[in-house]
Structure 1
């Protein structure tokens, strides 16, 4: 199964066009949040991505989670993945959106843990998150601060998913851990 993971479009029309082109070449897409900018422009970013390719979405800290869920309900090929999971190609993809407290769709570590508790016993797990785990190469800002979730790091250490895909930290574009 050929997959595309993307995030942090923030309404950028060139990025939207590029993602739409890439979605036509894959079996499934995963949108990992921050399609809007401070809650503005979510429909204008998401609706151009409608095609025959199924896309699973989690909200980012800039996205209105209810609006994203509604947009997913409006389009047959879109699916809201936050707090949910789906089995595809012998893997279980689980979604976790949001950002740190104080951001528009911020989740406390406790709320995040409540969502993660749903995923503990899933097999062949692939996590699709907006905010990365704390203390990794992909949660470091330009200033050197780690801004990921500690509960997510602990979950990843304990459960050892097959992979974790995340967005949020623009400085980490293209980095892996």
Structure 2
């Protein structure tokens, strides 16, 4: 299965157009959160992605809530947040929001590490773990070199050992690639990232 994955679109129309065009070659498209900006313009952002014909799976970022995303997601789009699904034999589990809690204020959709752990504990197995926040120590460095990722996400990756853990959130680490055990970690960013998975 050929997967196209991205994160942190933040309403960039040119990036959305590139993703829609690339999606013609995808069996599955995955979005790892932050489609709009500070809870504004989510319906417009979904409109930018409406040309994606492949199955589309989204997790919310910290810029939109799971409820907001579910309300405006086009028909047939799957929103995962503390939940999983199977697409053509490929097991997916998703967790959105900023983890740990961000310093951005009331608009940001965040989880504590304990809240994230509780939701991630629902996942017993997955081929692809889709999370907005990166695992602690992997693709989570700010421009100041500070590690701001999630311990709960890292613990879940270590426990589940999916083939891939796809994330975003930390813009300074877009493009990061690493591994935890047999799991490949990718901080995606708003470009076409390609993955091959045998379901």
Q: Which position in structure 1 is the counterpart of 2:29? A: 29
Q: Which position in structure 1 is the counterpart of 2:128? A: 126
Q: Which position in structure 1 is the counterpart of 2:114? A: 110
Q: Which position in structure 2 is the counterpart of 1:173? A: 174
Q: Secondary structure at the match of 1:86?
A: strand
Query: Which segment drifts farther, 88-97 or 26-35?
Result: 88-97
* Structure that is richer in strand per residue: 2
Q: Return structure 1 stretches of 4+ with deviation > 6 angstroms.
A: none
How far, CA to CA, are the matches of 1:110 and 1:175 in structure 2?
A: 26
Q: Which position in structure 2 is the counterpart of 1:159? A: 160
Q: Which position in structure 2 is the counterpart of 1:93? A: 92
CA-to-partner distance for each residue in 1:50-81, whole Å, 9 max, x for gaps? 24221111010111321101123xx2231111
Number of residue pairs aligned between Structure 1 and Structure 2: 172
Contact 1:53 1:77 in 2 (8 A): no
Q: Secondary structure at the match of 2:45?
A: helix
Q: Which position in structure 1 is the counterpart of 2:16? A: 16
TM-score (norm 1): 0.91
**Residue ranges of structure 2 left out of the alignment (5+ in a row):** 179-199
Contact 1:50 1:77 in 2 (8 A): no
Tell me the CA shift for residue 31 of structure 1: 0.7
**Residue ranges of structure 1 left out of the alignment (5+ in a row):** none
How far, CA to CA, are the matches of 1:86 and 1:33 in structure 2?
A: 17
Query: Which segment drifts farther, 17-26 or 45-54?
Result: 45-54
Tell me the CA shift for residue 22 of structure 1: 1.3
Contact 2:10 2:37 in 1 (8 A): yes
Tell me the CA shift for residue 83 of structure 1: 1.4
How far, CA to CA, are the matches of 2:87 and 2:177 in structure 1?
A: 23
Tell me the C-alpha RMSD between the 2 structures: 1.4
Tell me: higher relative CO, structure 1 or 2? Use CA pairs within 8 A at least 6 residues apart.
2
Q: Which position in structure 1 is the counterpart of 2:80? A: 81
Contact 2:64 2:109 in 1 (8 A): yes
Query: Which segment drifts farther, 84-93 or 143-152?
Result: 84-93
CA-to-partner distance for each residue in 1:14-55, whole Å, 9 max, x for gaps? 111111111222111111101111111111111221242211
